[in-house]
Chain A
Amino acid sequence: MGVRMKDTRVIELLAQIFAKTQSGKLAWEPTAQEGIFVVPLKGKYTLKAFPSTDYLSTPEGSGPPSFTLYEGNEMLLDATYKIEGVPEQGLRELYEMVRRRALRVDKKLDDILSDLKNL
């Protein structure tokens, strides 16, 4: 069982990821693994969005989505709901935004909407 510890840097990082994803400044991509999305950062790091917590240690994982930062193959941090101050709902909202950005859902919806309006 993880220890709940407040980590203001992680909270700030998640807030920045949320803002930059919302403004479309982060180029999230879907991977070949269903539900896992990735974005490179600063030519050095990669941030992965997982659909659940403990995704890597258990076959399907459990709990709300989580975000993991890597430098090469080394994991730098695992941002999960287990960190105090990281709300489960916030992680769910961020993951959903990432998913929509990576799969270009809003663009496709706009495309469908414009066609529907012209019917």
Chain B
Amino acid sequence: MSRLGKFLLQNWGNLASVLGLILSALAAFFAHRASVDADKARRSVLARSMAEDINAGIKLAAEITILIDKGKLELALSKCNDLLDLPNQIRTRWDSDLTIGSKDHWLAAHEQLDSMHKVLSKSVNSELSQKELNALRRSCMQVRTTFIEEYGTAQRFIDGGANERH
């Protein structure tokens, strides 16, 4: 019997253990990679869905700005009503996927919309002063900026910048 044959016969148990260990390590490695890839894919789908919601918000915020500029405050109030809950919906729906910074942005956007809603509601019964109109415009711009920035963040994530969000 050759020396190799003898060696294999004498150490087959040890060799099998080593082989088993290597195979286990490889299985663990591929399982981890598959899990990371699946998580990335899941987050990408979520980000795409979030981006669609945010995009709808950007359009509404732009419409509100135009309506305020044109003095159509009742229509602006109606659109503001449509947009009012979206920041909170986004924040709670994607709670585990958003950074604290993003959640803070959505909280602030909700507060801005809430204050706009109160001022616009007041405009139904009395004329707003120039100061109040300016404050309305400023809040509206703030809301638009939040939607645009967060859209950019979601889009970056979809385009492969997964690490930037976490």
Residues of chain A whose beta carbon lies under 8 Å from any beta carbon of chain B: 27, 29-34, 36, 38-46, 48, 72
Interface bits B121-152 vs A (CB < 8 Å: 1, else 0): 00000000001100110110010000000000
User: Does B98 contact A30, Cβ atoms closer than 8 Å?
Assistant: no
Which one of B104, B138, B139 lies within 8 Å of A40 (CB-CB)? B104
User: Does B138 contact A32, Cβ atoms closer than 8 Å?
Assistant: yes
Q: Which residues of A contact B102 (CB under 8 A)?
A: 43
- Bound together, the chains give a CA A31 to CA B110 distance in angstroms of 11
- Bound together, the chains give a CA A45 to CA B102 distance in angstroms of 13
- Bound together, the chains give a CA A8 to CA B165 distance in angstroms of 37
User: Does A46 contact B111, Cβ atoms closer than 8 Å?
Assistant: yes
Say yes or no for B88: interface residue by CB 8 A criterion: yes
User: Does B111 contact A38, Cβ atoms closer than 8 Å?
Assistant: yes
B142 CB, nearest partner CB in chain A, Å: 6
User: Does B115 contact A33, Cβ atoms closer than 8 Å?
Assistant: yes
User: Does A32 contact B118, Cβ atoms closer than 8 Å?
Assistant: yes
8 contacts between A and B (CB under 8 A): A29-B112, A30-B135, A38-B108, A38-B111, A38-B115, A40-B111, A43-B100, A46-B107
- Bound together, the chains give a CA A44 to CA B139 distance in angstroms of 21
User: Does B100 contact A32, Cβ atoms closer than 8 Å?
Assistant: no
Known: A38-B111, A40-B104, A42-B100. A32 touches B116 (CB 8 A): yes
Residues of chain B whose beta carbon lies under 8 Å from any beta carbon of chain A: 88, 91, 98-105, 107-108, 111-112, 115-116, 118-119, 131-132, 135-136, 138-139, 142
Closest to A43 in B: B103
User: Does B108 contact A34, Cβ atoms closer than 8 Å?
Assistant: no
Task: Given A27-B108, A38-B111, A44-B103, output 7 extra A-B contacts at Cβ < 8 Å.
Answer: A27-B104, A34-B131, A38-B115, A40-B104, A41-B104, A43-B103, A43-B104
- Bound together, the chains give a CA A43 to CA B103 distance in angstroms of 4
- Bound together, the chains give a CA A48 to CA B136 distance in angstroms of 18
- Bound together, the chains give a CA A34 to CA B135 distance in angstroms of 7
Which one of A29, A33, A48, A72 lies within 8 Å of B142 (CB-CB)? A29
Known: A36-B115, A42-B100, A43-B98. A29 touches B132 (CB 8 A): no
User: Does B107 contact A32, Cβ atoms closer than 8 Å?
Assistant: no
Which one of A27, A32, A40 lies within 8 Å of B115 (CB-CB)? A32
User: Does B115 contact A43, Cβ atoms closer than 8 Å?
Assistant: no
